[in-house]
Amino acid sequence: MIGMAQTVSSPNGNVTVKFSLTNDGQPTYEMEYKGKTVCKPSHLGLELAKDKHASKGMQETDLMKGFKETGHKTSTFDETWKPVWGETATIRNHYNEMEVSLNQPSSKRNIKIRFRVYDYGMGLRYEFPQQEELNYFVIKEEHTQFAMADNHTAYWIPGDYDTQEYEYQITPLTGIKDIIRRDREKYKSNSSTTVFSDTGVQTSLQMKTKDGLYINIHEAACLDYPTMHLNLDEKTLTFESWLTPDAVGMKGFIQTPFNTPWRTVLVSDDARDMLSCKLTLNLNEPCKIEDTSWIHPTKYCGVWWDMIVGRKSWSYTNDYPSVRLGETDYSKCKPNGTHGATTAEVKRYIDFAAKNGLQEVLVEGWNIGWEDWFGHQKLDVFDFVTPYPDFDIKELNEYAHSKGVKLMMHHETSASAINYERHLEDAFKLMNKYGYDAVKTGYVGDIIPRGEYHYSQIMNNHYQRVVEEAAKHHIMVNAHEATRPTGICRTWPNLVGNESARGTEYEAFGGSVPYHTVMLPFTRLQGGPMDYTPGIFETKLSEWSQNQSFVHSTLCGQLSLYLVMYSPLQMAADLPEHYEKYDDAFQFIRDVACDWDDSKYIEAEPAKYITVARKAKGTDNWFVGGKTGEEARNAVVKLDFLDKGKKYECTIYQDAADADYEKNPKAYRITKRTVKRGDVLKIREARGGGFAVSIMAKK
Ligand code: NOJ
Ligand code: CA
């Protein structure tokens, strides 16, 4: 306990945050949940650049200590807002706020620290009002601490300036270092990676305490600022913010007035609250797009998995060791015979989408440049407008539209952000011309401008610029390899997806642990939906390709992901011919919604299991999904969310008794029965398995 503290509690009183200044004027907070310590006294502050990067070469004073409090205000806020798409039709944003005003006499500067305290956590941020003495400044490091009370279990991935495509590790806090040291060489297999510390981890970081508290640290509204990582001081069990630097090693060029992103701590004694709590979205600004009628949740398929698995190629020819846009003549070369995005193949996917109620078809490898798209830090790698000779863009869009389907655009930038910004306007105009309304972008490889990192301030501004420009063109964005989201989709709901984690593609690159998909909702999904690309039915890739990897899930486990991994963008990622073989199971993907009026988390434990029920938007139909990790288990679903007096037709897609993700992944059973409110479903989930249920209201 600190003397002379200002305290603010959450609306139900469960969460309390105290603010104080140390004897030498250093801002400090601590946090409790139901009387238990969540964060011990933790310091706040920013270290500023004092060298040539400092604003006008000023002899800067750090914003770390020497502060005096000049005032504080508390207030309450309670509103209910409607997301354009989401897990629920409405979201309540209810918090108590404390604004602390501070003055640093030695620099004559004024800053504010704002706390918003919710029933399941809190957010804090630094605010820099415009003032004579604080107009421009450069951040050397932000020193926001999160002092843990014990050696908690952490579910973590290594801190990295360039990628989050990792499997989660589960260790005590003091076990982080050994694993990072052990695996450092292994990390280098990613196309771009910069692990910065032996004790560095990424957010969102999930933890569990010995007495059963779930604690999660992340950030909200990361705009015009670098992405935050956390670095652990093992002796004090204190995490401290570690921002992503830019190419000159600086961590933020700021002009006031400016507010930093929110630093968030979720807490509850019930793991389900980690999944249902909307704190990250709530700490973002309301929607800035006036007319959102063109934004729509989408189920899609695509010319994609065949390339990831290695049977087909993005490139058109093998004739050239390299190509130059505008000079290489594709009409003179021999097609390689493996090009995926041919007019005939795309038509096959369009037919499949139209027949099965999928709204869009993603096509990768449609545009010139893929012959040497990555590995050379090449600036002008793609122009985003010139199709390969065997991809008839006009005919295919007309064909798709005639069947009520849209093509989904693909812009792989090869991490050449400069090149993408140069071509962006023309690329979006081309999309508007042919009626595309969604783009999947990608940033594979090291960033250009060279020396920048995927998560630096300038790159975060780039991704945001793309989202805002896209909105002007009524285009939805799904960005791969970009910064992990921080709830910005509330403000810009045309950001319908991100990858920013290890997606299904890794099941073709050696695989991911079976508990990966019961980790991601606790971590990566805190900031926004993921384009995980589920739905692989032929999980043993060697049965139909040269690829020796396999998907670490049963077929029913794949079905469950349409519920467990919430996203308004859901891919049916396997090949049409594979779905045709298991048409009765594919019925679930046909039926499942991807926009919801309500969601109820029924069972949850990080890395173990998640069971969730969701009510399809504008209907009385419910869908339930359950996924387990490494261990088989029995899910128990009490149907107490159904309407009283109504009858429902219930179809259960479950692992067969002998199913197992390694030995027998495709063994499933489909049963139908009539259910009503109060009935209980007991469903066995195989190792690496899961289940999916549709519950359709009877007329
Ligand atoms: C990586 C993306 O995650 C994947 O989906 C895409 O197919 C490739 N890059 C090529 O752009
Ligand atoms: Ca990727």
* Paired strand residues for 121: 118, 266
The pLDDT of residue 3 is: 43
* Paired strand residues for 574: none
Residue with tokens 């933020």: 252
The ligand 1 atom nearest the CA atom of 503: 3
Averaged confidence pLDDT in the chain: 97
Quick check: 562 and 535 in contact, CB under 8 A? yes
Neighbours of ion ligand 2 (CB under 5 A): 480
**Reported pTM:** 0.98
Choosing from 412, 414, 441, 502 the residue with most ligand 1 atoms within 8 A of its CB, the one to mutate for a pocket test is 412
Quick check: 264 and 535 in contact, CB under 8 A? no
Quick check: 263 and 123 in contact, CB under 8 A? yes
Q: Establish whether residue 445 lines the binding site of ligand 1, counting it when its CB lies within 6 angstroms of any ligand atom.
A: no
What ligand has the least distance to the C-alpha of 533?
1
Q: Establish whether residue 442 lines the binding site of ligand 1, counting it when its CB lies within 6 angstroms of any ligand atom.
A: yes
The ligand 1 atom nearest the CA atom of 533: 5
Centre of ligand 1 from the C-alpha of residue 412, in Å: 7
Choosing from 480, 512, 569 the residue with most ligand 1 atoms within 8 A of its CB, the one to mutate for a pocket test is 480
Buried b / exposed e along 73-110 (16+ C-beta atoms within 10 A): eeeeeeeeeebbbbbbeebebbbbbbbbbbbbeebebb
Centre of ligand 1 from the C-alpha of residue 6, in Å: 49
DSSP 107: T
The pLDDT of residue 51 is: 84
Nearest residue (by CA) to ligand 1, atom 11, is 412
Residue 611 phi, psi (nearest 5): -130, 130
Centre of ligand 1 from the C-alpha of residue 442, in Å: 6
What ligand has the least distance to the C-alpha of 442?
1
Centre of ligand 1 from the C-alpha of residue 449, in Å: 20
Centre of ligand 2 from the C-alpha of residue 237, in Å: 32
pLDDT at 448 over 50: yes
What ligand has the least distance to the C-alpha of 305?
1
DSSP 382: -
Helices (H) and strands (E) in the chain, counts: 11, 36
Q: 345-376: per-residue pLDDT in tens?
A: 999 999 999 999 999 999 999 999 999 998 88
Q: Establish whether residue 499 lines the binding site of ligand 1, counting it when its CB lies within 6 angstroms of any ligand atom.
A: yes
Q: 263-313: per-residue pLDDT in tens?
A: 999 999 999 999 999 999 999 999 999 999 999 999 999 999 999 999 999
* Region class of 261: left (phi > 0), else alpha (psi between -120 and 50), else beta: beta
Quick check: 393 and 386 in contact, CB under 8 A? no
The ligand 1 atom nearest the CA atom of 481: 3
Residue 506 phi, psi (nearest 5): -70, -20
Q: Establish whether residue 360 lines the binding site of ligand 1, counting it when its CB lies within 6 angstroms of any ligand atom.
A: no
pLDDT at 2 over 60: no
Q: Beta-carbon neighbour count of residue 392 at 10 Å?
A: 17
Centre of ligand 2 from the C-alpha of residue 502, in Å: 7
Q: What is the 3-state secondary structure (H, E, C) of 637-658?
A: EECCCCCCCCCEEEEEEEECCC
pLDDT at 59 over 80: no
Q: Establish whether residue 165 lines the binding site of ligand 1, counting it when its CB lies within 6 angstroms of any ligand atom.
A: no
Q: 618-662: per-residue pLDDT in tens?
A: 999 999 999 999 999 999 999 999 999 999 999 999 999 999 999
Tokens representing 325? 């846009």
Q: 158-203: per-residue pLDDT in tens?
A: 999 999 999 999 999 999 999 999 999 999 999 999 999 999 999 9
Local confidence band at 4 (pLDDT 50, 70, 90 cut-offs): low
Helix pair angle (393-402, 343-356), 10° resolution: 20
Centre of ligand 1 from the C-alpha of residue 164, in Å: 14
Centre of ligand 2 from the C-alpha of residue 512, in Å: 13
The pLDDT of residue 597 is: 98
Residue 420 phi, psi (nearest 5): -65, -45
Nearest residue (by CA) to ligand 1, atom 6, is 442
Q: 452-487: per-residue pLDDT in tens?
A: 999 999 999 999 999 999 999 999 999 999 999 999
pLDDT at 681 over 80: yes
Q: Establish whether residue 246 lines the binding site of ligand 1, counting it when its CB lies within 6 angstroms of any ligand atom.
A: no
Active site residues: 505
Region 676-692: mean pLDDT is: 98
- Which among 272, 365, 284, 378 has a CA at the least distance from the CA of 322? 378
* Paired strand residues for 610: 604, 627
Q: 521-576: per-residue pLDDT in tens?
A: 999 999 999 999 999 999 999 999 999 999 999 999 999 999 999 999 999 999 99
Q: Establish whether residue 200 lines the binding site of ligand 1, counting it when its CB lies within 6 angstroms of any ligand atom.
A: no
What ligand has the least distance to the C-alpha of 481?
2
Which domains are seen in the chain, by residue range?
A: 6-282 (2.70.98.10), 286-438 (3.20.20.70)
Q: Establish whether residue 505 lines the binding site of ligand 1, counting it when its CB lies within 6 angstroms of any ligand atom.
A: yes
The pLDDT of residue 620 is: 98
Centre of ligand 2 from the C-alpha of residue 368, in Å: 20
Nearest residue (by CA) to ligand 1, atom 10, is 412
**Residue 405: C-alpha distances to residues 252, 278, 300, 343 (Å):** 43, 33, 10, 15
The ligand 1 atom nearest the CA atom of 308: 7
The pLDDT of residue 621 is: 98
Contacts of 185 (CB under 8 A, 6+ apart): none
Q: 576-605: per-residue pLDDT in tens?
A: 999 999 999 999 999 999 999 999 999 999
Choosing from 362, 364, 439 the residue with most ligand 1 atoms within 8 A of its CB, the one to mutate for a pocket test is 364
The ligand 1 atom nearest the CA atom of 410: 11
pLDDT at 692 over 60: yes
Residue 607 to residue 520: CA distance in whole angstroms: 9
Q: Establish whether residue 502 lines the binding site of ligand 1, counting it when its CB lies within 6 angstroms of any ligand atom.
A: no
Centre of ligand 1 from the C-alpha of residue 503, in Å: 10
DSSP codes joined into one string, 119-140: TTEEEEEEEE--BTTBSEEEEE
Q: Establish whether residue 531 lines the binding site of ligand 1, counting it when its CB lies within 6 angstroms of any ligand atom.
A: no
Nearest residue (by CA) to ligand 1, atom 3, is 480
Centre of ligand 1 from the C-alpha of residue 655, in Å: 30
Residue 589 to residue 587: CA distance in whole angstroms: 6
The pLDDT of residue 55 is: 75
Length of the chain: 699
The ligand 1 atom nearest the CA atom of 412: 11
Residue 607 to residue 299: CA distance in whole angstroms: 27
Q: Establish whether residue 306 lines the binding site of ligand 1, counting it when its CB lies within 6 angstroms of any ligand atom.
A: no
Residue 520 to residue 511: CA distance in whole angstroms: 15
Tokens representing 38? 């969540």
Beta pairing class for 622-628 and 609-616: antiparallel
Name the helix (H) or strand (E) containing 36.
strand 36-43
